[in-house]
């Protein structure tokens, strides 16, 4: 089978895919670090702005995955289409959670409930990315050492 994804092959695409995950992770971790800085509380307007930027980043990334990466996996491995659909559902759920965090941002500095929800969101994103990496490696037939 030819390694033809976007006429560049799977490895460069997979590298781009993982860089995008690193950018999302970095934005989440940076916000988490700033939220945990007890010496300087972030104004909720700044938290909201950063969450909105994160949502835009994740939304663009998800669209790219769904219309590029997942389509390629399904073209190469039709039996994996159900798994890609499950990941697409997780994308929707993650954006809904982020929307709820944005809507409730006024609670970010007033207790632990909002922070607990943000922590849970962060862990859910990390678990989702791990599942995606596994699926993409299988779907593009990349060995583990290329990951």
* Strand segments (E) across the chain: none
* Cα–Cα distance measured from residue 87 to residue 53, given in angstroms and rounded to the nearest whole number: 22
Region of residue 78 (left: phi > 0; alpha: psi -120 to 50; beta: else): alpha
Q: What is the pLDDT of residue 105?
A: 96
Q: What is the pLDDT of residue 9?
A: 65
Q: What is the pLDDT of residue 39?
A: 86
Q: What is the pLDDT of residue 109?
A: 86
Region of residue 89 (left: phi > 0; alpha: psi -120 to 50; beta: else): alpha
Region of residue 116 (left: phi > 0; alpha: psi -120 to 50; beta: else): alpha
Residue-level pLDDT, tens digit, the chain, 147 residues: 344 444 456 777 788 888 899 999 999 999 999 998 888 889 999 999 999 999 999 999 999 999 888 988 999 999 999 999 999 999 999 999 999 999 999 999 887 899 999 999 999 999 999 999 999 999 988 877 644
Residue 10, CB-side half-sphere exposure with 13 Å CA sphere: 18
In the numeric block, which tokens belong to residue 1? Answer: 């089978």
Domains along the chain with CATH numbers: 7-146 (1.20.120)
């Amino acid at each position: 089978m030819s390694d033809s994804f976007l006429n560049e092959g799977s490895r460069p695409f997979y590298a781009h895919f993982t860089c995008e995950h690193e950018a999302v992770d970095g934005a989440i971790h940076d916000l988490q670090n700033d939220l945990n800085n007890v010496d300087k509380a972030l104004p909720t307007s700044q938290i909201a702005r950063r969450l909105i930027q994160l949502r835009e980043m994740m939304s663009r990334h998800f669209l790219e995955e769904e219309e590029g990466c997942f389509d390629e996996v399904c073209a190469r491995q039709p039996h994996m289409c159900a798994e890609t659909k499950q990941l697409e559902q997780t994308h929707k759920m993650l954006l809904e959670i982020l929307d709820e965090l944005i809507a409730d941002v006024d609670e970010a500095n007033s207790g632990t409930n909002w922070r607990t929800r943000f922590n849970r969101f962060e862990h859910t994103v990390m678990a989702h990315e791990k599942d995606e990496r596994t699926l993409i490696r299988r779907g593009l037939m990349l060995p583990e050492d290329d990951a």
